[in-house]
Structure 1
Amino acid sequence: MTDAILPPSPLSRRRAELITEEGRGNGIDYVEVDPTDHTRLTVGVLSDLPTGGDPWQLVSQPDRVLVKGGERVRAIRTLTVAVHDPRTLDVRVDRGGDHSTYQLELAVTDLDPVLRRIGFSFMAACPSDLDCRPPAEADDPAGPEPLLDTLAKDFASFRRLLLDLSAQRHPSLSDQHPADLAITLLELLAFHADQLSYAQDATALEAYLDTARRRVSVRRHLTLVDYRLHQGRNAATAVYLAVTAPVTVPAGTRVLTRIPGPLPGTSTAPPVAVPAGLLTPAALQLPPLSGSVVFETTHRLKAHPRGNLLHVHHWGEDVFRLPPGATTAWLWAEDRAQPSTAVLPRLTVGDLLLLEQVRSPGTGAPADADPTARWVVRLTDVQPGSDPAYLADYGRDSEGQVQLAERTDDTSPALPLLAVRWAETDAPDRAVCVRAVRADGDPVPDVSVARGNLVLADHGITRDGVDVRPQDWSPTAAGPLGGPPPLRLRLPDAPLTHQIGALGAERTQLTGGPEDAVPALSVTARPGSGRDQVYTPVPDLLDSGPNDLHLVVEVDDTGHGLVRFGDGTLGRPPLEASTFLARYRTGNGTAGNVGAESLIHIGLAAADTGKVETVRNPLPATGGTEPETTEHARQLAPDAYRSHSERAVTERDAVDAVLRLPSVRAAVAALRWTGSWYTWLIAALPTDPADLVDIGGSHQELSAGLRARILAAMDAVRLAGQDVDVRPPWFVPVELELHVCAAAGHSRSVVRHAVRDALLARRLPGGRPGLLAPATLTFGRPLLLGELYATVAAVPGVDSVKAVLLRRYDQSDNGELAAGRLDVAPWEVLRLDDDPSLPGRGVLRLDIDGGTP
Structure 2
Amino acid sequence: MTGARYRCGDERRAAALAASGPSDVSGIDYVEVHRGPTVADPTRIDVVLVKPLPLPEAALGGDQFSLTGGVRFPAPRVDPAVTVAPGGGEVSRYTVTVPGGQPTDFSTYQLAIVAGPGADGPPAFIDARLSAVDFSFAVDCAGDGDCSTGGADLPEDVPPEPRFDYRTRDWEGFRRLMLDRMSVLVPGFREDDPVDLTTTIVEALAYRADQQSYTLDWVGTEAFLDTARTRASVTRHARLLDYAPGEGASARTFISVSFTPDSPAGEGYRLRAGSPVLPRAQALVAAVAAADYPGLLAASPVVFETLSDLRLWGWRDHIALHTWGDECCVLPAGSTAVTLEDGSGGAGPLVPGDLLLLAETVAPDTGRAEDADPGRRHVVRLTRVTPVTDVLQPATAFLDVAWDTADALPFDLVVSARLTEPAGPVRSLVCAEARGNVVLAEHGATLPPAGYLGLPPSAAAALVPRLFPPAPPPGVVWRPQVTGGTGPLARTAPHRPDDPGPPSAAALTTVDPARCLPQITLHDPFTNWTVRRDLLASGRFARDFVVETGSDGSPVLRFGDGTYALAPAPGDAFGVSGRFGTGPTGNLGADALGHLVLPDGEARVGISSVTNPLPAVGGAAPEDDATVRVAAPQAFRRQERAVTAADYAAAARQFPGVADAVAVPRWTGAWQTVLVHVVRRGGEGVDDAFRAGLLDHLESFRLAGFDVAVRAAGTVPLDIGLSVCAAPDELRSEVGRRVRAVLSPAGSGGAKGFFHPDRFAFGTPLYLSALLAAVMAVPGVASVTPQVFQRFGRPAHGELDRGVIRAAAAEVLELRDDPSFPERGRLRITTGGGR
User: TM-score with structure 1 length normalisation?
Assistant: 0.60
Counterparts in 2 of 1:155 and 1:579: CA distance versus 1, 3 Å:
farther
Match of 2:404 in 1: 422
Q: What is the alpha-carbon root mean square deviation over aligned residues?
A: 5.3
Contact 2:306–2:440 at 8 Å: present in 1 too?
A: yes
The one-letter code sitting in structure 1 at the alignment partner of 2:562 is G
Shift of 1:420: 1.8
Counterpart in 2 of 1:373? 376
Matched position secondary structure for 1:222: helix
Out of 748, 751, 754, which is 1:768 matched to?
751
Cα shift at 1:467 = 6.9
CA separation in 2, counterparts of 1:355 and 1:796? 37
Query: Corresponding residue for 1:629?
Result: 624
Note if 1:328 corresponds to 2:330. no
Paired letter, 1:490 = Q
Determine if contact 2:251/2:511 at 8 Å carries over to the other structure.
no
* Correspondence for 2:567 among 560, 564, 573: 573
Query: Mind listing any 5+ residue stretches in structure 1 that lack a counterpart?
Result: 1-150, 261-268, 392-411, 479-484, 693-699
- Retained in 2: the 8 A contact 1:503–1:521? no
- Pick from 549, 553, 569 the counterpart of residue 559 of structure 1: 553
Q: CA deviation at 1:471?
A: 4.2
After superposition, residues 596-611 of structure 1 pair within 5 angstroms as 596-605=590-599, 606-607=601-602, 609-611=604-606
- Aligned mates of 1:628, 1:313 — CA distance in 2: 48
- For residues 827-838 of structure 1, what are the structure 2 equivalents within 5 Å? 830=814, 832=816, 834=818
Alpha-carbon distance change, 842 to 639 in structure 1, aligned in 2, over 3 angstroms: closer
**Contact 1:735-1:805 within 8 A present in 2 as well:** yes
Which letter maps to 2:514?
A: D
Amino acid at match of 1:519: L
Quickly say closer, same or farther: Cα 1:686–1:674, change in 2 above 3 A.
same
Letter in 1 for 2:530: Y
Change (3 A) 1:790 1:198: closer
| C-alpha contact (below 8 Å) 2:663/2:675 kept by paired residues | yes
Which of these residues, 254, 259, 272, is aligned with residue 238 of structure 1? 254
The answer for the alignment partner of 1:116 in structure 2 is none
For the residues of structure 2 that align with 1:747 and 1:443, how far apart are their CA atoms?
A: 36
| Aligned residue number for residue 494 of structure 2 | 502
Give, in angstroms, the shift of residue 598 of structure 1.
0.4
Question: Would you say the 8 A contact 2:278–2:300 is kept in 1?
Answer: no
**Helix, strand or coil at the partner of 2:574:** strand
Where does residue 359 of structure 1 map in the other structure?
362
The code of the aligned residue for 1:257 comes to P
Q: Which amino acid aligns with 1:562?
A: V
Aligned match of 2:434 in 430, 447, 450?
A: 450
Letter in 1 for 2:285: P
The answer on 1:214 being equivalent to 2:222 is: no
1-side partners of 2:194 and 2:799: how far apart?
103
Q: CA deviation at 1:257?
A: 0.2
Secondary structure of residue in 2 paired with 1:710: helix
Q: Does 1:613 align with 2:608?
A: yes
1:228 and 2:282 aligned = no
Map 1:397-796 onto structure 2 (within 5 A): 412-413=394-395, 416-423=398-405, 425-438=406-419, 442=426, 445-464=429-448, 468-469=466-467, 471=469, 473=471, 477-478=474-475, 486-492=477-483, 493=485, 495-502=487-494, 509-510=507-508, 515-524=513-522, 526=524, 531-538=526-533, 540-546=534-540, 548-575=542-569, 578-605=572-599, 606-607=601-602, 609-634=604-629, 637-639=632-634, 641-642=636-637, 644-684=638-678, 701-703=687-689, 706-707=690-691, 709-728=693-712, 764-765=748-749, 767-770=750-753
Aligned with residue 153 of structure 1, among 171, 175, 195: 171
SS in 2 for 1:648: coil
Change (3 A) 1:738 1:583: farther
User: 1:344 and 1:332, CA in 2 relative to 1: closer, same or farther beyond 3 A?
Assistant: farther
* Offset of residue 599 of structure 1: 0.5
Q: State the Cα distance separating 1:590 from its structure 2 match.
A: 2.1
In the alignment, is the contact (CA less than 8 A) between 1:597 and 1:618 conserved in 2? Answer: yes
The answer to whether the 8 A contact 2:313-2:348 is kept is: no
CA distance in 1, matches of 2:603, 2:205: 65
- Following TM superposition, by how much is the alpha carbon of 1:307 offset from its aligned partner in structure 2, in angstroms? 3.1
**Structure 2 residue ranges without an equivalent (≥5):** 1-168, 261-266, 450-463
Structure 2 letter corresponding to 1:432: L
Q: The residue matched to 1:627 in structure 2 has which SS? A: coil
Task: Name 1:255's counterpart in structure 2.
Answer: 277
Match of residue 102 from structure 1: none
Corresponding residue SS for 2:237: helix
Aligned partner letter, 2:245: L
Q: 1:630 to 1:714 in 2, by over 3 A?
A: same
Q: 1:632 to 1:769 in 2, by over 3 A?
A: closer
Does the 8 Å CA contact 2:472/2:571 hold for their aligned counterparts?
no
For residues 212-254 of structure 1, give each alpha carbon's deviation from its aligned partner in whole angstroms, at most 9, with x where no partner exists: 3322222223333334332222222222222234343333221
| Cα deviations by residue, 1:408-431 (Å, 9 ceiling, x for unpaired) | xxxx347724142332x4444443
**Does structure 2 conserve the Cα–Cα contact (< 8 Å) formed by 1:432 and 1:448?**
yes
Q: Cα deviations across residues 824-844 of structure 1 (Å, max 9, x unaligned)?
A: 6636574748496xx599587
In structure 1, distance between residues paired with 2:487 and 2:328: 51
AA aligned to 1:369 is A
Are the equivalent residues in 1 in contact too, given 2:356–2:438 (CA < 8 A)?
A: yes
Q: Distance in 1 between matches of 2:170 and 2:735?
A: 85
State which structure, 1 or 2, has the greater radius of gyration over its C-alpha atoms.
1
**In structure 1, C-alpha distance between the alignment counterparts of 2:594 and 2:337, rounded to whole Å:** 29
For 1:350 and 1:309, how far apart are their aligned partners in 2?
19
Aligned length: 627
TM-score, normalised by the number of residues in structure 2: 0.61
Give, in angstroms, the shift of residue 309 of structure 1. 2.8
Q: 1:772 to 1:305 in 2, by over 3 A?
A: farther
User: What is the one-letter code of the residue matched to 1:719?
Assistant: L
Residue 597 (structure 1) shift: 0.8
Q: Which moved more, 1:717-726 or 1:588-597?
A: 717-726
Residues 1:363 and 1:745: Cα distance change in structure 2 (over 3 Å): farther
Deviations 1:367-419 (A, max 9, x none): 3333333333444444444554x42xxxxxxxxxxxxxxxxxxxx34772414
